[in-house]
Amino acid sequence: MVEKPAPSVAPDAPAATVDAAAPAAAVVTPAPDVSHDVALTLLASNEIKSYVVAAVVLSAVPLPLVDIAGIAAIQLRMIQKLSQLYGKPFSSSLGSSLQGALLGTFGGLGGGLAIGSLVKVVPGIGWALSAATMPIAAGASTYAIGKVFVRHYEEGGSLFDLDAGKFKAFAREQYEKGKELARSAKREAKDAKDAAAA
């Protein structure tokens, strides 16, 4: 009996699966290409939206700087969940560092969030000013950070090779898109609060 050599596979070719129930001459089906999996992209978008809502709601915490710490934790958890979803390794210290670098691409947003948080100590006007700006900034930045990670992962990158500077224009574009989502989440949270009070 003459053995046939195994077919060669390119090193960057996607993995394949074999149907175990098929006869010996099983057909090898290529595994889906994760970078173009629409279902995965939709799952990631839903994850991002849920974290945007959480950031918007948390920004209403009346304690200065507690809201900032909570928003940072929400964003870091989102990065971790997106990493898991895309099968990428995660490091909280590196994720936190990249999160800060991406916030820097929004032109002083980090400082603006801190000021928006600190202004809550001013009775009356401080709380009103913070309530008008913090939810939008928190939600939009969360959305943009999530979208950057999704884009990077779908291009085959990992947490360890993300260059925040490369995504500066994309992050700003996503921040603007995220503002509308954050406004919507803010309205829904207000409506839910009003309905609960009635």
Task: Write the single-letter amino acid at 114.
Answer: A
Region of 88 please: left (phi>0), alpha (psi -120 to 50) or beta. beta
Classify residue 21: in a domain, yes or no: no
The predicted pLDDT at position 24 comes to: 45
Cα 105 to Cα 87: distance, rounded to the nearest angstrom: 26
Which pLDDT score, from 0 to 100, does residue 60 have? 82
In a domain, 6, yes or no: no
Is 8 domain-assigned?
no
26: pLDDT strictly greater than 60:
no
At residue 121, the pLDDT reads: 67
| Domain membership flag for residue 39 | yes
Q: What integer best gives the mean pLDDT of the chain? A: 79
Residue 132 inside a domain? The answer is yes
Judged by average pLDDT, the poorest of 39-48, 74-83, 113-122, 174-183 is 113-122
Average pLDDT over residues 66-93: 94
The pLDDT, as a whole number, for residue 17 is 43
Q: Which of 160, 162, 142, 140 lies closest to 151, judged by CA?
A: 162
Give 93-140 pLDDT, tens digit per residue: 999 999 888 887 766 555 566 666 667 767 777 666 767 778 888 999
Percent of the chain with pLDDT over 70: 71
| Phi, psi values for residue 26, rounded to 5° | -65, 150
Q: Which of 83, 73, 103, 59 is nearest to 157 (CA)?
A: 83
- Domain total in the chain: 1
Band of pLDDT at residue 36, cut at 50, 70 and 90: low
Q: List, for residues 50-63, the tens digit of each pLDDT value.
A: 999 999 999 888 77
Residue 20 lies in a domain: no
Owning domain of residue 96: 34-197
Q: Is 10 among the domain residues?
A: no
pLDDT of residue 4: 45
Question: For residue range 158-187, what is the model confidence (pLDDT) as tens digits?
Answer: 999 999 989 999 999 999 999 999 988 888
Of 14-23, 141-150, 178-187, give the range with the top mean pLDDT: 141-150
The pLDDT value recorded for residue 13 is 42
pLDDT attached to residue 44: 97
